[in-house]
Amino acid sequence: MKRLLEEKDAFHDKCRERGLKLTPQRLAIYEAMRYSKEHPSIDMVYQKIKKKFPRISFDTVYRTLITLCDIGLVKPVEGYGYTRRFDPNTGQHHHFHCVKCQKIVDFYDQTYDRLTAPSKIAPGYKILSKKVVVEGLCPDCS
Ligand SMILES: [Zn+2]
Ligand SMILES: [Zn+2]
């Protein structure tokens, strides 16, 4: 409970810093994201939030997710098919992507963390982060 309150405060501080109003809808969207392990799409978040706020629009959920990305509390997940997905885990980690059910699972691996940029791009490009994506079938699909 204490952790939850602290996170609420962190979100509150971020919003205040950026001059954003902390609405119950925004907080609910943040909380739905924060504890999600499934790298949800906008629609998945929308379906969840709609149960609590039946009148919320898809567009509000969309814009709030973009705002959460802007203030660094959520990261957009790149390159997994046609639907944009979002990740509350903003730290260094890697993904397993199931090409059948589209599940994205986080994993941590120090060998992958230590990968260096290929010498072909090393001189001109500054690497800020690395993410390894392993694609295949999850245990449910294989
Ligand atoms: Zn699967
Ligand atoms: Zn992730």
Angle between helices 2-17 and 24-34 (to 10 degrees): 120
Q: For 69-73, 85-89, 113-117, 118-122, which range has the lowest pLDDT when averaged over its residues?
A: 118-122
Residues lining ion ligand 1 (Cβ < 5 A) are 98, 100-101, 103, 138, 141
| Cα 95 from Cα 135, distance rounded (Å) | 8
Give which of 93, 88, 38, 95 is closest to 68, Cα–Cα: 88
Beta-carbon contacts of residue 118 (< 8 Å; ≥ 6 apart): none
Residue type, 112: Y
Distance 88 CA to ligand 2 centre (A): 7
Distance 105 CA to ligand 2 centre (A): 7
Task: Give the pLDDT band (50/70/90) at residue 116.
Answer: confident
The answer to whether residue 2 scores a pLDDT higher than 60 is no
Task: Give the pLDDT band (50/70/90) at residue 78.
Answer: confident
The answer to whether residue 10 scores a pLDDT higher than 80 is no
| Cα 31 from Cα 61, distance rounded (Å) | 12
Q: What is the mean pLDDT of residues 82-94?
A: 90
Task: State residue 15's pLDDT score.
Answer: 85
Distance 137 CA to ligand 1 centre (A): 5
Q: Is the pLDDT higher at 141 or at 24?
A: 141
Residues lining ion ligand 2 (Cβ < 5 A) are 87, 89, 106
Q: Determine contact, residues 108/94, Cβ cutoff 8 Å.
A: yes
Task: Give the pLDDT band (50/70/90) at residue 34.
Answer: confident
**Please, what are the domains in the chain?**
2-85 (1.10.10.10), 91-136 (3.30.1490.190)
Which ligand has the shortest distance to the CA of 89?
Answer: 2
- Paired tokens of 46: 């929308």
pTM of the predicted model over 0.85: no
Distance 19 CA to ligand 1 centre (A): 41
Task: State residue 7's pLDDT score.
Answer: 64
Element (H, E) at 106: strand 104-107
Task: State residue 4's pLDDT score.
Answer: 55
Distance 72 CA to ligand 2 centre (A): 14
The answer to whether residue 1 scores a pLDDT higher than 80 is no
The answer to whether residue 47 scores a pLDDT higher than 50 is yes
Beta-carbon contacts of residue 127 (< 8 Å; ≥ 6 apart): 117
